[in-house]
Amino acid sequence: MKNMGWLTLLGLWLVSPAWALETVELKPEPVSHWRVLDGTVEAVHQATLSAQTSGRVAEVLFDVNDYVEAGSVLVRFTNTEQKAALDQAEANLEAARAAFKQAEAEYQRIKGVFERKLVSKSDMDRVTSQRDAARARLKAAESAVESARQQYEYTIVRAPYAGIVTKRFIEKGESVHPGQPLMAGLSLDRLRVQVDVPQSMVLPIRKKKQAEIWLDESGSRTLAGEKVTIFPFADPQAKTFRVRVDLPQAETGLFPGEFVKTAFVTETVERLLVPWKAVMVRSELVSVYVMDEAGRVSLRQVRVGQRHGERVEVLSGLKAGERVVLDPVAAAAEVLRQREVDS
């Protein structure tokens, strides 16, 4: 009886082992419908630093492809003229302070005498005018020191933010003048994608304002856009609108200048979704294994649409309520077993 029980169980397994296959029942689900366009990655922070004073290049501390921290010294100029101008301005400031101090003391002395009506009003007006002129010269001297100090600080060029040097325009020993480019750089910390969108897509994109960047060709790895900005004017030749998608501050593996697929949400629709791992792709044929109510497994050709993470839309070939086998290898083995049993 014991052996007979094992034979019975074995016979049941041979007749219908499909119960061991994991399946998923299909039902319509609301999903976001995407339109995918090509975009170009660019850095949010990118700049060309220019000289703000005249001088000769004394040091160039970084070169192309070097990484620099925010505030790092990039270039130093000779500063003899700027240092001399600063020293002169500071000396003039000390003289102006002394002159104002003397004028203020004289003003206070005459004011006390004038209040006792021992001097004329013209004398009071004279010392008041002298005091006001001394104060004006003091303010001018203070401004001259600030200007000279700024020119002196311009002889040291620092990085405005952390990033990578992309271009270098000067060499050591070269004379520079205000406005001359020195270095160009960009930061990889903040990136965004620029996309030219057809006019017909602008309204739904403006309504949804949702986008994601595909990190691979299939769209299985995506990065959600942080902000979608639509420019308020179109290119008169191409009839397209520029759309900018800001990316979150994260390690993406993207670099400025790269082309990437950018998907925009245009509408919400109901679709049947199957796990991507259940789908088999052979050349141009796409198929899944389906289990019927009797537990029999068969191969079904389908047409798929957009990917949604680990799942994909089924546009035709399946209907709601059907069950799809998640493991195609096990399903193929079951189909072979069914054929052997049937024969």
CB atoms within 10 A of CB 285: 10
* Residue ranges per structural domain of the chain: 20-27+271-342, 34-44+190-269, 47-78+155-189, 79-154
Section 76-95 average pLDDT: 93
pLDDT at 177: 93
- Which CATH number is 79-154 given? 1.10.287.470
Confidence bin at 17 (pLDDT 50/70/90):
low
Least confident of 67-71, 115-119, 145-149, 292-296: 115-119
Sign of CA dihedral 211, 212, 214, 215: positive
pLDDT at 159: 93
Least confident of 11-15, 77-81, 101-105, 276-280: 11-15
CB atoms within 10 A of CB 307: 18
For the record, the structure tokens of 80 come out as 């003899």
Which of 2.40.50.100, 3.30.930.10, 2.60.40.10, 1.10.630.10 would CATH assign to domain 47-78+155-189?
2.40.50.100
pLDDT at 13: 44
pTM of the predicted model as reported, rounded to 2 decimal places: 0.61
Which of 3.30.300.30, 2.40.30.170, 3.30.365.10, 3.20.20.70 would CATH assign to domain 34-44+190-269?
2.40.30.170
Nearest CA to 263 out of 242, 275, 238, 245 is that of 245
Say what percent of the chain tops pLDDT 70. 94
pLDDT at 9: 39
Q: Distance of CA 102 to CAs 89, 98, 108, 109, Å? A: 20, 6, 10, 11
- Which CATH number is 20-27+271-342 given? 2.40.420.20
Confidence bin at 14 (pLDDT 50/70/90):
very low
What is the DSSP secondary-structure string of 310-342? TEEEEEES--TT-EEES-HHHHHHHHHHHHHHH
For the record, the structure tokens of 76 come out as 């130093």
Residues 6+ apart with CB under 8 A from 195: 37, 38, 39, 40, 242, 243, 244, 245, 262, 264
pLDDT at 16: 52
Confidence bin at 18 (pLDDT 50/70/90):
low
pLDDT at residue 19 is higher than 90: no
For the record, the structure tokens of 274 come out as 């199957």
Section 301-323 average pLDDT: 90
Section 254-281 average pLDDT: 91
304, 315 contact by CB (below 8 A): yes
Write out pLDDT tens, residues 154-212: 999 999 989 999 999 999 999 999 999 999 999 988 899 999 999 988 999 998 898 98
Write out pLDDT tens, residues 132-143: 999 999 999 999
Report d(CA 296, CA 337) in Å as an integer.
11
Query: 2-15 vs 328-342: helix axis angle to the nearest 10?
Result: 110
pLDDT at 286: 93
CB atoms within 10 A of CB 251: 7
Nearest CA to 38 out of 281, 214, 247, 254 is that of 214
Nearest CA to 212 out of 233, 195, 231, 232 is that of 195
